Structure 1
Amino acid sequence: MDKIRVFIIDDSAVVRQVLSGILAADPAVEVIGAAPDPLFALERMQRQWPDVIVLDVEMPRMDGITFLRKIMAERPTPVLICSTLTEKGAQTTMEALAAGAVGIITKPKLGLKGFLSESSAEFLSAVKAAAQARAGRLRLPVPPPAPRLSADAILPATGPALAQTTERLVAIGTSTGGTQALEFVLRALPRVVPGMVIVQHMPEKFTGAFAARLNDLCEIEVKEAEHHDRVLPGRALIAPGGRHMLLRRSGAQYHVEVLDGPPVNRHRPSVDVLFRSVAKAAGRNAVGIIMTGMGDDGARGLKEMHEAGARTIAQDEASCVVYGMPKEAVKLGAVDQVLSLQAMPGLLMQLARD
């Protein structure tokens, strides 16, 4: 089985050394090179082109965004952005995601070696997800399973959903490729659409910048969710990175709870946690949509929504960057309807008309 060829571009020698060491320890991955800036990298990559590029955004001679746009125009390749946990880093990273990057690897300004070593499993998972986002997807060996928690760790499954109300809502879960997919869908929507609650797998401090960017681009209001925010027509609430988001109901009104807790399906926020809470709080009054992403987070939660009477939809394989989460939901029998990304806005506008 061919290894995943990775090229690292970062002006920090420490970052290049640590990331190369983490990748070299995985038998499914091969580091074919590392360079301090894109111009050196381009020269070396011509000899052997990588399957995945790990790219810093702030570098001398050519910045990462310019390089990313050049790559996407000339030879599209999965790119993971290696970004700092800062407000400036988050804003720049949003530009990179909009330009076609498939994911984010975070790095703090201090304690870099220890942080990256502790995050090695997450980093390897991101690299393997990125490798699946290319033509002729790789069938990757399954890594040894880490301890996994279900949504039970945050919210018990017992208890029926409350009675139906007249207020509809939409719950969306997505991961790799989801930033571009969500932008496509939300930009097309008028303010009259039902309220939305969204989990996009994304690190802490980046979801706020992502929501702010979408809010500038969209007619609807898009915001990073805060504890007790109301779910309202024409508003999309995005779960903050590093915290779970649950839907709650008070009378005929819906609001969200944002809380800490262990990762579920190795994610925090978790789509399963959100979908389970929607099944309990909204039942048949909700629509659940699972979109592009690696793994199976959200599949079981969507099944619970389906069993509670909600309408459930999965993005089709042809329009997914990574057909993982929707595929698992379909296999579980959790999906009523499979739709292309292009058809999603029309569906949500139909819900508004209904």
Structure 2
Amino acid sequence: MSWLVTGGAGYIGTHVVRALDAAGMQPVVLDDLSTGIESFVVGDTPFVRASVLDTAAVIAALIEHNVEGVIHCAGYKFAGESVKYPLHTYQQNVDGTRSLLEAMAVAGVRLLVFSSSAGVYGTPSSPVVTEQTPTEPESPYGESKLIGEWLIRDQVRATAGTDAALAATSLRYFNVVGSGFRDVWDASPHNLFPKVFAAIEAGNAPQINGTDYDTPDGTCVRDYVHVSDLAHSHVAAARMLAAGRGLAPVYNLGSGAGTSVREIVDAIVAVTGTSLVPIEAPRRPGDPARIVATGDLAADDLEWKNSHSVREMVESAWASHPHGS
């Protein structure tokens, strides 16, 4: 029996695939390479080049590789860009999830871990997010992830008590950084670390927006989690489902404390060795002082632990960053 990872040639998906392999859980990669990188798939891991939108191709992959469960990482993950391209976002994230669920039903695959997002919370009234925090997404990306959770919830309800009962859980998280491998990096042009690294290499100083917030050092505090820690809990969730253990419908994978923008920038300056002096700029409209997610429930059920320091997050990201590219 194997586990299919959709989007398994992407930054997060690759870490999940390698964590599955390390756990002896026989990963299979399905990715259309729209943002994934084929060289991230190493060894004898089976690779199916296909989109989750191609229901027939997903059915064939599930049957051919004797798949026991799916970790669904595929999707259009750019919140800011989703505002410009809402139809594309909904196609990839909503119809992609619907297509996957249909394929799983046809192939008789009954275990699913959904890589969701803390973007479903929008800008919460409380600075600390729990699983009970109301979901009020503010971008098509966040909305599409929430709809994906609803689709899964409804399929779980519809199949409950039958031989085809779906067991599933969704994992929500904020900013994923770092790398567990020198040959895997965050290739997104929209994510914080690659953007700052590229700016420094181009001779542009990193910028801090707002230094007068009600936080310990005056800068915004956000949740950053290391991608290896994230992958570990995805695999733990898969392992628990395979063992027949009942899991909560959703879990937050969060630090509970967060990291300030200044802490991140200071670590990047130290690790990269740049002589560029960070620029302090005014606040950006709409930036709350602090948003972090608790990880208590996931710590109890999914072996969740934010085990990397800020310095380790930056060092691992910088070590894997394709310098000069």
- TM-score bracket for this pair, using the shorter chain length: 0.3 to 0.5
Could you tell me the TM-score, scaled by structure 1's length? 0.35
Give the TM-score normalised by the residue count of structure 2. 0.38
Higher relative contact order by CA 8 Å / sep ≥ 6: 1 or 2? 2
